[in-house]
Structure 1
């Protein structure tokens, strides 16, 4: 039986396409017109109020330059331009997955698309790709794809917790992540940060939208392997590529041919290692996950990578935060250029 999880992703606002992607619907587009940034305020003029009401009725309604000018308020005009640019990409692609691929492959939009919109797309895409997943650890590991993670190392462990939740807890209780993990008796108003493992992972089902569980990301821990499985699902769902991803403690390869950093910091570190530059132990300690990836079908790969693995890394930055860029897996692989 399939479990319910991540209702906040909005998959229920889409319909399945023929290829199994999430097709755009008026309901999904309407959700963006209900965002607080675009909701009329006390100072809004009558035209803005009327336009907003019309877009709630018909989220695909055309909006002209004259309509935008009639809003009068520069902030409102800018907000509308952003939502409209995003809507245009969604509608032209027809699916959330297709729109995401267009954006990460450099599609030019009429206004900049906020990073939070990309995170929301990844959230929805993974909810779709993992709809039959029965492993809460895999789902928790998938959160790394679309939510920033705070890293701590209590008692030699490598703990990843949701950055937003930790920040909220730290401000309310004036303590850090290590203390949050150590506390057993917490005030009723607080959010318990339970460490998810094989024994208690069922608790995830009842609170998946709270993003308040922690995982141990050390080598040979199940969460690291769960993350590797999500990478496999992501690539299969998005670009139809079957891969096998294996966590590794380090790179031992004298003939290293290709790598992909899963975030900005990991990219810098892998580039330095690949180029033979000196990398300090402190810098190496920033890597929280290292993986070796092999392709089931190598016919799409460039010649010099065939028969060789691709190395992946995930790292924390100077603020002990993991900010994954899942698009790197889609645009930085060593494929032969399409004709």
Structure 2
């Protein structure tokens, strides 16, 4: 008798998508309808007749052409703006056919007309696909760094990562929703709510609350969370580029022949660039580095000749105010690949 694998990340929309022969996620009408169900897209009682008609027509056929005249006919200018944003994103998805192809088009073109939230939602769904066979909750929690901003706490030598949105929610309501907000406004003391820190003993609790994003991961060197993050990076690269890599956490870079590095966020890029150039980096900036990794690309033929057999160093850093905003696209766009690889 086989045990069914636990489901996770239902909020990703993965169940609305269909993998193609390559394993990439085909855009479906139901996935597009999910964007029409967003609060800013749903008509309200006061909405004009044209808005009700357009929304209903798109629900019936999410890929139907919509012209500027259709949008301009909407009475509310804010609603017009929302439709333009969502329809532009919809057209991008339809044009490229899969979430992966659309994501690559966004991150390689540098186009800034796609909301960050929509890009993060693509990453969320794609990683749900990439990690479908995963049975390690620690790896799933580490994967949240790819699409959800983290709040960093350096406590007694530990590096604790908690979801920024969840931390903010608890700060405002104590995790008690509307009641908590009322208590805050009335200055009523509330009990302190602590988030669970995942470890090897309790990590199974993740399955029932994967869509709450309310667990904490210890990101210190040698901790399971760091290794789990490395495994997710390997899977991410393999899924998009069909290239095998080996990524290992490390504490420092000691390499006289340091040739290539990739910052996994803006801060890490800046710090690694300075170190590579031999510039002095202050202790405050060095402390911002949360993780260093050594990558080896196993498929030599994919790499430029000058980098074959050489490691690539990866860095992850927090902002000066203790936030972590990973850029997973850097793992796909900044590798030293040869022409045609």
- TM-score norm. by structure 2 comes to 0.91
Q: Cα offset for 1:338?
A: 3.4
> Does the 8 Å contact 2:174/2:193 carry over to 1?
no
Equivalent position of 1:98 in the other structure: 101
Aligned counterparts of 1:241 and 1:123: Cα–Cα separation in 2: 21
How many residue pairs match? The answer is: 325
Spell out, residue by residue over 1:17-50, the C-alpha distance to the aligned partner (whole angstroms, 9 max, x if none): 1111111110000001111112224543211111
> Does the 8 Å contact 1:257/1:304 carry over to 2?
no
> Does the 8 Å contact 1:169/1:190 carry over to 2?
no
Q: Does 1:26 align with 2:29?
A: yes
> Does the 8 Å contact 2:150/2:162 carry over to 1?
yes
Equivalent position of 1:223 in the other structure: 225
Q: Does 1:305 align with 2:320?
A: no
Gaps of 5+ in 1: 175-186
Q: Does 1:234 align with 2:239?
A: no
> Does the 8 Å contact 2:151/2:164 carry over to 1?
yes
> Does the 8 Å contact 2:196/2:215 carry over to 1?
yes
Q: Does 1:256 align with 2:289?
A: no
Equivalent position of 1:156 in the other structure: 157
> Does the 8 Å contact 2:174/2:190 carry over to 1?
no
Spell out, residue by residue over 1:214-252, the C-alpha distance to the aligned partner (whole angstroms, 9 max, x if none): 111000011000000000000001111110000000001
> Does the 8 Å contact 1:244/1:294 carry over to 2?
yes
> Does the 8 Å contact 1:71/1:77 carry over to 2?
yes
Return the match for 1:289 from 281, 288, 291.
Answer: 291
Aligned counterparts of 2:267 and 2:110: Cα–Cα separation in 1: 25
Equivalent position of 2:248 in the other structure: 246
Return the match for 2:203 from 183, 201, 204.
Answer: 201
Q: Cα offset for 1:173?
A: 4.0
Range moving further from structure 2, 164-173 or 255-264: 164-173
Q: Trace 1:47-62 onto structure 2 (pairs within 5 A).
A: 47-62=50-65
Equivalent position of 1:212 in the other structure: 214
Q: Trace 1:259-274 onto structure 2 (pairs within 5 A).
A: 259-274=261-276
Range moving further from structure 2, 53-62 or 190-199: 190-199
Equivalent position of 2:185 in the other structure: none
Q: Trace 1:139-150 onto structure 2 (pairs within 5 A).
A: 139-150=140-151
Q: 1:103 to 1:290 in 2, by over 3 A?
A: same
Gaps of 5+ in 2: 176-188
Q: Cα offset for 1:190?
A: 7.6
Q: Cα offset for 1:60?
A: 0.9
> Does the 8 Å contact 1:149/1:323 carry over to 2?
yes
- TM-score norm. by structure 1 comes to 0.92
> Does the 8 Å contact 1:192/1:212 carry over to 2?
no
